[in-house]
Amino acid sequence: MVNRTMYERGAESSKIREIFAYACERKAQIGSENVFDFSLGNPSVPAPASVRASIERSVAEVDPAVLHGYTPAPGLPAARAAVAASLNRRFGTAYGAQDVFMTVGAAASVSCCLHALVAPGDEVIVIAPYFPEYAVWIENAGATCVEVLADQKTFQIDVDALRAAITERTAAVIIDSPNNPTGAVYTRATLEALAAALQEASAGRDEPIFLISDEPYREVVYGAEVPWVPSIYAPTVVCYSYSKSLSLPGERVGWVLVPDTCADHDRIMAAVAGAARCLGFVCAPALFQRVVIDCVDEPCDVESYARNREVLTRALSEYGYDYVEPDGAFYLWMRALEEDAEAFCARARAYELLPVPSDSFGVPGWVRIGYCVSHETIERSLPAWEALAQSYR
């Protein structure tokens, strides 16, 4: 018997993937330079030279049987230690290899944390608009996804609304800062208010409400502070991947950190390991765990994203569009020029513009523009954005 839920999740394609598939088709028809595909969060910046150097060194120096062999389930001890040491240098913490579990990208990190910390029937709060896969992963852990609308002016967490959404079944909250899709970076004040609300709601419980801090865009930031969340709220687990910071989304490597300061650390770490085992996410790619060892402190090259952001936002505001000024990630959250974001995107398609309508992120009336594209694509798309705005006048 085919599992009905799995069939449905496989048969329905994500809106983002659907638009990306259309973009590929359209590029074949009219030339890739004439299609402005803003759908995927695939970094346009190549992986740094140090990644290639690391791969070449490993291939030249490491016995192939070892290089391509299984690693221990939680990862190479040296990779786990390198991640912990890097965090310690940056955040003044005292983590060790035993606090880090290497995973297959942030998708696996968040899924493992959900399975480790949530029981069937529990509720998990997300801040809308939110990364659509959260709903799928929460459902897969047997829990219910509870959406709390972000503050509609600042796109920070609306902590009063979040407090009102907490029930006795609330097991965890997922946050994602710098945020996909809004580009908001949660301030220290926001995170402190969130921590206070969660502490208050956790009082008297056997276990606290956990915070799952999903941080694949931590380094993709344009000057804003990205506070270290576990130092503000102790029952936080951090999910990370090198998909965006090192432009390695196809290589599937990241980690989960269970901070040493988290009460019940050993049980949580064991549950993360159990979840990775049950989900088949053990032994992250061996070659790229070695890349992590070599490149853990490699800075993220945000120059091109910063330039795209600058040129795109200046032009769009000139054409009369309304958007959230992005402090991080490489997405622009822009108001559609009509209530129905799908209808707006359908009209945009006539100008070969392919943003993603907001409905799949849990809210109506907006679009996400992924500006992790070539600068030429940004420049060439501007007349189309202008013509689209004109068509609504």
The residues of the shown chain that bind ligand PLP, judged by CB under 6 A, are 41, 105-107, 131, 176, 180, 214, 216, 241, 243, 249, 254
Least distance to ligand PLP, CB of residue 227, Å: 17
Q: Which is nearer to ligand PLP, 93 or 243 (CB)?
A: 243
Least distance to ligand PLP, CB of residue 133, Å: 7
Least distance to ligand PLP, CB of residue 348, Å: 22
Distances (CA, A) of 131 to 91, 135, 143, 146, 363: 26, 8, 17, 13, 11
Distance CA 239, CA 114 (A): 11
Q: Which is nearer to ligand PLP, 127 or 388 (CB)?
A: 127
Least distance to ligand PLP, CB of residue 275, Å: 15
Q: Which is nearer to ligand PLP, 131 or 344 (CB)?
A: 131
Q: Which is nearer to ligand PLP, 41 or 326 (CB)?
A: 41
Distance CA 210, CA 238 (A): 11
Least distance to ligand PLP, CB of residue 189, Å: 22
Least distance to ligand PLP, CB of residue 42, Å: 9
Q: Which is nearer to ligand PLP, 214 or 219 (CB)?
A: 214
Q: Which is nearer to ligand PLP, 295 or 337 (CB)?
A: 295
Q: Which is nearer to ligand PLP, 105 or 259 (CB)?
A: 105
Least distance to ligand PLP, CB of residue 126, Å: 11
Residue nearest to ligand PLP (CB): 105
Distance CA 319, CA 382 (A): 9
Q: Which is nearer to ligand PLP, 106 or 195 (CB)?
A: 106
Least distance to ligand PLP, CB of residue 106, Å: 3
Residue 350 CB coordination number (10 Å): 11
Q: Which is nearer to ligand PLP, 228 or 331 (CB)?
A: 331
- The answer to whether residues 248 and 242 touch, using CB atoms and an 8 Å cutoff, is yes
Q: Which is nearer to ligand PLP, 241 or 308 (CB)?
A: 241
Least distance to ligand PLP, CB of residue 79, Å: 16
Least distance to ligand PLP, CB of residue 152, Å: 20
